[in-house]
Amino acid sequence: MNIIKFWLIAIFAAVVMAGCGSSGGGGGGVVAGIDRLGASAGTVTGFGSIFVNGVEFETDGTTQFTIDDSPGVESDLSIGDVVIVVGSIDANGTTGSADTVFADEAVEGPVDSIDLVAGTLVVAGQLVITDASTSFDNSISPTALDGLAAGNFVEVSGFPDADNNIRATRIERKAVAGIPPGEEVEVHGFVANLAATTFRINGLTVDFSTATIDNFPGGAITAGDFVEAKGVSFGAGGELIATKVELEAANGGIDLADIDDLEIEGFITRFASATDFDVSGLPVTTNAQTVFEFEDDTPASAADLGLNVKVEVEGDVNASGVLVADKVEVKRAAIVRITADVDSVDAPNNTFVVLGVTVRVDSLTRIEDKSDVDDENFMLSELMATDYVEMRGTVDVNGSGDVLAERVEREDPDPETIIQGFVESVSQPMLSILGVTIETNGQTVFRDANDNVIGNPNDFFAAIDEGSVVKAKGMETSATVVLAEEVEIEGEN
């Protein structure tokens, strides 16, 4: 088979090897009663078992947790971590049993720089992109990008995109400065600018003169190799002094044709056509039987696919190591954001109301407790009226709510109310988002999409219309009215 290019597939090979030798309760099959090897690769959305790609995997019989190449336990994982589960899925498609769970960060190291406007940071020379899908650990305060600073040592979980950048699903701060004891700088990427004792991975120079060189044919590093580099110190020029460099591009001796059933979440990293593309480096094809849909179950089509589109693909891997998709789910950008007190909860119907907006959760919604209660197994049934939450999601086109939540986080009480979404109507000095009236006055600060202050409110209202994306911060003055301290024009990404 062809060389697999991205770190997610490289670690997937290691899991497959572990899964092949497993004798756990899952049986290694994705269909109950059939001895077939199956795997699911995606973000953790919940615990009390482990939820990945809409499936609740029972972990009581799990034979192995491998966290960052070392033995671990379920409690080492967090909401938003990217994992691979090898095991069985029941016939209902929503429950299963995990034999092996594997997790590895995309990058771990010091923050070089932060761009709050672009929503990006550079970690050990690697560009990390944050968005509404990024969970920030409670070690970061506030739990957002502006809670980080240059020099912080962080661990980033996420997916590669077509530009070799990292789309972060979770960021955790390990130390305010310096490399903490027991931790290593860890970077995955392609070898470039190879010299006698150095090479580059994107913006990081790696000095491998004293490193252990592992898994390279002939023991030699080659330009273009996909590698993992680890180290515990930097040289005078900012280069990583590597203690180990390992080739990750090989398939670990396991042909992907041995994988009968696979679910994988990630970005389209190569796109030739709707029948020839890669997801996180894994080749995918579709056919006349492939079902295309959005995450809210509304119909999508092959025309919705393209480079750097986030998808979840389910299907069988054929003899050529290509995933033949039975279903492709296209992920919409999570434009909607609401941060406010909960009005009411209807757990049996998987909905709650905030600012008068009905929010629906499903099996793919990440639910996390970031309050001082810190309930690791927090779920919708424990959410209560007056709880303060942050919700990110999309307009619920074909469901029972106004919004379909991608993630819901309970936080400690705060008087600030935030709503972001598509403008429904404009009547200066007011506008409406999701049925919520946003009032502005002489104290309101107006900002453009680059975070620059707009001095004249007339210019702000002239720049928006129905369909514009606007974020408002302020105070909830009634069930569906917010008096804005600040309003800002947002991009749609």
Name the nearest CA neighbour of 114 among 173, 161, 189.
173
**C-alpha distances out from residue 118 to 122, 353, 491, Å:** 12, 31, 10
Name the nearest CA neighbour of 131 among 152, 102, 161, 107.
161
Q: What burial class does residue 138 get, using C-beta atoms within 10 Å of its C-beta: 0-12 exposed, 13-18 middle, 19+ buried?
A: middle
Q: What SS3 string covers the chain?
A: CCCCCCHHHHHHHHHHHHHHCCCCCCCCCCCCCCCCCEEEEEEEEEECCEEECCEEEECCCCCEEEECCEECCHHHCCCCCEEEEEEEECCCCCEEEEEEEEECCCEEEEEEEEECCCCEEEECCEEEECCCCCEECCCCCCCCHHHCCCCCEEEEEEEECCCCCEEEEEEEEEECCCCCCCCCEEEEEECECCCCCEEEECCEEEECCCCEEECCHHHCCCCCCEEEEEEEEECCCCCEEEEEEEECCCCCCCCHHHCCEEEEEEEEEEEEECCEEEECCEEEECCCCCEEEECCCCECCHHHCCCCCEEEEEEEECCCCCEEEEEEEECCCCCEEEEEEEEEEEHHHCEEEECCEEEECCCCCEEEECCCCCCCCCCHHHCCCCCEEEEEEEECCCCCCCEEEEEEEEECCCCCEEEEEEEEEEECCEEEECCEEEECCCCCEEECCCCCECCCHHHHHHHCCCCCEEEEEEEEEECCEEEEEEEEEECCC
Structure tokens at 176: 């305010």
pLDDT of residue 398: 67
pLDDT of residue 261: 76
pTM: 0.81
Q: What is the dotted CATH code of the domain comprising 417-490?
A: 2.40.50.140
Show me where the domains of the chain are located: 7-103, 107-247, 260-327, 336-411, 417-490
Give CA 100 to chain center in angstroms: 21
* Whether 197 contacts 191, CB under 8 Å: no
**C-alpha distances out from residue 37 to 29, 72, 327, Å:** 4, 23, 19
pLDDT of residue 92: 80
In CATH, what class is 336-411?
Answer: mainly beta
pLDDT of residue 37: 53
Q: Are strands 336-346 and 357-360 parallel, antiparallel or unpaired?
A: unpaired
pLDDT of residue 90: 80
pLDDT of residue 36: 47
336-411 and 417-490 in the same fold: yes
Give CA 286 to chain center in angstroms: 24
pLDDT of residue 2: 29
Residue ranges, the chain, pLDDT below 50:
1-36, 250-255, 493
Report pLDDT digits (tens) over 159-208.
Answer: 988 888 999 999 999 999 999 999 999 999 899 999 999 999 999 999 99
pLDDT of residue 311: 94
